[in-house]
């Protein structure tokens, strides 16, 4: 057999092995996905998808994924899981991208009043979608979790990027095969953020809020934007500490169309339980301890 034929035969054998392996990988991925579907159904969440494929290299692709809840529906055109690994029953590594995320059916005011309402409002407009990318590594033995990055970017929305280093995983192993919802709640109570970087660039959310307020007050959105910038400058002048000054600077920058990066000071870790589960007063107390550096693009 000459070299060309040997290469051809080798290539065919590799292709056969890859296809066979991918079929087995797809079957395993479908079994895992069915487990996710079944568990989600127990919480009243209906998950369906058009197609699922997997490769022997560990990547999984899911098309036309639909997550339907009692208050709305999320549609993902293509979900690609590039890396996935687990230690015992717990995820140790996950890297994925979700393209063309659309949202429908969620109750939202015609005139949004805050950032979350404005985001939902925009995502539910015709031909509006967002893309998500995420990569996380978790080492329960070392009590470390690193969110290498999570980014959300969309039409008339802007861009959001965050990275975190966290501890507080000790209780996870005690939970065994409990539901993902219970594990997530326990983690949220105990997780402590030691390093964090947050990037924000607005491309429509603030404008949506300004348009809503302008309609109610009978003035132009541009007038409200200029007034908000002036209030921000006044707040910066009157700020009693660096934290208040930086918040004012960040608000001004976003209103003027600039991107901002907030980097957490390592000496002021943040306890997520106090931030999200202790009510408004608990959140304010935790935020008052925070120190960060601000960069404006």
- 30 pLDDT exceeds 50? yes
What pLDDT band is residue 255 in, cutting at 50, 70 and 90? Answer: very high
pTM: 0.81
User: Pick the residue with more confidence: 292 or 175?
Assistant: 292
HSE of 184, CA atoms in CB hemisphere, 13 A: 4
What mean pLDDT do residues 97-101 have? 91
Residue 178's pLDDT is what?
Answer: 63
CA distance 81 to 57: 11
Per-residue model confidence as pLDDT tens digits over 65-89:
888 888 888 898 998 888 877 776 6
For residue 9, what pLDDT is reported?
39
Distance CA 287, CA 161 (A): 20
Q: What is the DSSP letter of 239?
A: -
pLDDT tens-place string over residues 172-187: 767 666 666 666 677 7
Q: What DSSP assignment string belongs to 161-197?
A: EEEEEEE--TTTGGGTT--HHHHHHHHHHH-EEEEEE
């Amino acid at each position: 057999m000459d070299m060309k034929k040997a290469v051809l035969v080798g290539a065919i054998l590799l292709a056969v092995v890859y296809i066979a392996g991918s079929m087995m990988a797809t079957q395993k991925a479908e079994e895992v996905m069915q487990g996710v579907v079944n568990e989600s159904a127990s919480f009243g969440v209906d998950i369906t998808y058009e197609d699922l494929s997997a490769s022997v290299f560990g990547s999984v692709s899911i098309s036309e994924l639909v997550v339907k809840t009692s208050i709305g529906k999320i549609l993902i055109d293509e979900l690609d899981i590039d890396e996935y690994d687990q230690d015992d029953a717990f995820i140790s590594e996950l890297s994925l991208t979700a393209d063309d995320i659309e949202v429908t059916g969620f109750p939202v005011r015609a005139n949004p009043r805050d950032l979350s309402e404005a985001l939902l409002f925009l995502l539910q407009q015709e031909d509006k979608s967002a893309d998500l990318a995420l990569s996380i590594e978790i080492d329960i033995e070392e009590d470390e979790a690193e969110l290498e990055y999570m980014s959300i970017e969309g039409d008339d929305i802007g861009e959001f990027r965050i990275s975190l280093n966290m501890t507080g995983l000790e209780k996870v192993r005690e939970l065994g095969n409990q539901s993902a919802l219970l594990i997530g709640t326990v983690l949220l109570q105990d997780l402590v953020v030691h390093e964090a970087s947050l990037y924000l660039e607005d491309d429509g959310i603030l404008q949506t809020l300004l348009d809503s307020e302008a309609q109610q007050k009978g003035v132009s959105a541009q007038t409200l934007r200029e007034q908000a910038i002036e209030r921000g400058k006044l707040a910066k002048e009157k700020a009693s500490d660096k934290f208040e000054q930086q918040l004012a600077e960040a608000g001004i920058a976003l209103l003027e169309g600039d991107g901002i990066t907030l980097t957490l000071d390592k000496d002021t870790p943040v306890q997520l339980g106090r931030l999200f589960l202790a009510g408004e007063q608990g959140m304010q107390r935790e935020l008052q301890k925070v120190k960060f550096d601000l960069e404006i693009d």
